[in-house]
Structure 1
């Protein structure tokens, strides 16, 4: 019975193929789709400001906070995408844990802001 070599010992270098490019493109597509979501959140906020609906000043403020949260989340995700693309150009190692934590928190924040806009925008 043979024992497989430990990572980095006696193994040939991994051929990344097109995987880094596909990953980079996926991050870009995700950021573009989130920008569209941001625009929808802003639209709901602007419509509430203009008074096109039965929204009080409290709802307008909450929608403004949701719009700000959406912008912050998308900016953080765009930064994560940029960092990840830069890392993929230099190798095929996994993303740092902090990048994935920031991306996950940003997705959660953007999701909560979108749900709040949908619920409050009715």
Structure 2
């Protein structure tokens, strides 16, 4: 008797985790752009980097037709680094009192 793997709710949990990550990245990127509009060139450079990182992560991870994400090891590593960078940027924004 062979049993097939029952994924259960794992695909849904993964999809929801990617959506939470994308939402958090969107919020930090939006706040960075807002900061750049009212401050100097250093903030503008960070806003450009945040927007590029956000757009790259969304483009690589999101499949609009299925609402799922890609799970290639290199893609996940790049998205992880981008997410960590944007999280660091969010921390800096909070510490600066945005």
Q: Which of the five TM-score ranges fits, normalised by the shorter chain?
A: 0.7 to 0.9
Q: 1:112 to 1:104 in 2, by over 3 A?
A: same
Q: How does 1:32-51 map to 2 (within 5 A)?
A: 32-48=23-39
| Structure 2 unaligned residues grouped into runs of 5+ | none
The TM-score with structure 2 as length reference comes to 0.75
Q: Does 1:102 align with 2:78?
A: yes
Q: Which has the higher contact order (CA 8 A, sep 6+)?
A: 1
Per the alignment, in what secondary structure is the counterpart of residue 85 of structure 1? coil
Question: How many residues were matched structurally?
Answer: 95
The TM-score with structure 1 as length reference comes to 0.63
Asked which structure has the greater CA Rg, the reply is: 1
Q: Does 1:13 align with 2:23?
A: no
- Report the counterpart of residue 56 of structure 2 in structure 1: 76
